[in-house]
Amino acid sequence: MAEDVPIQRPRGQRPCGIRGLPSPMTDPRNALRRDLRQARRALPAKERIAAAESLAGRLLALPFLPGRGHVAGYWAMDGEIALHAWQMRLPAGLTYCLPVVDGAAANGDGRLRFAPWRPGEALVANRYGIPEPDVEPSQLLEAEQIALAVLPLVGFDDAGNRLGMGAGWYDRSFAFRRDRAAPPWLVGAAFSSQRVPSLEPEDWDVPLDAVCTERSTHMPGEGTG
């Protein structure tokens, strides 16, 4: 799909500062990140394709899947489980969005914004080399306007704790969910091999409402389905 989409060069903004988060060079969870990412990248293509199809079915079966509104996904990179099958099977009332880093950088708050995107529409590579919609700032949506967001992750546990890449984008963007009920619903997407026995949450971590893998759906406090 990416080969059919025009992707421009990175815009070149420097990453914003990350207040309160450990430096990527000193974060003690980096060893776990490295091992999980390596295992994720090693999965064979056939297994990845089948996993993406199975994941789509589980995401569509979530009891809190909205009937209308904007839902956010991500552009899979670094071996992340893909969301294309879910996007193509979304109900007609839902609009698929991708996160925007560089297009929102002028706000200076280190939060993601989101923009609707369909296959074939223009993309631009952000500072991390990840494609994002090439839209005007006026077209961007705030995190509070999203009905459900599917988040990439490096690792997760049954309590809904998420281990990300360490830059804090999603934790800053959805920080309001720490003391406010959904929506937006926050759902992690992962391969089952990314499940770990336990993660020690940090003060800034935003817990997930569910985690879907190709094999099961994990609902904190409700068990695994």
CATH number at residue 166: 3.40.50.10420
Tell me if 26 is assigned to some domain: no
Tell me if 4 is assigned to some domain: no
The tens digit of pLDDT for each residue in 22-67 reads: 445 556 788 999 999 999 999 999 999 999 999 999 999 999 999 9
Tell me: pLDDT of 18 over 50: no
Tell me: pLDDT of 109 over 90: no
Residue 29 and residue 23 in contact, taking contact as beta carbons nearer than 8 Å:
no
In the chain, how many domains are there? Answer: 1
Tell me if 20 is assigned to some domain: no
Tell me if 138 is assigned to some domain: yes
Neighbours of 182 (CB within 10 A): 12
Tell me if 158 is assigned to some domain: yes
203 or 218, which is more confident: 218
Tell me if 22 is assigned to some domain: no
Tell me if 19 is assigned to some domain: no
Tell me: pLDDT of 107 over 70: no
The tens digit of pLDDT for each residue in 136-176 reads: 888 899 999 999 999 999 999 988 899 988 888 999 999 99
Q: State the chain's mean pLDDT as an integer.
A: 86
Tell me if 107 is assigned to some domain: yes
Average pLDDT, stretch 179-188? 95
CA distance 72 to 111: 14
Q: What is the pTM of this model?
A: 0.85
Residue 205, domain extent:
47-219
pLDDT for 102 equals: 74
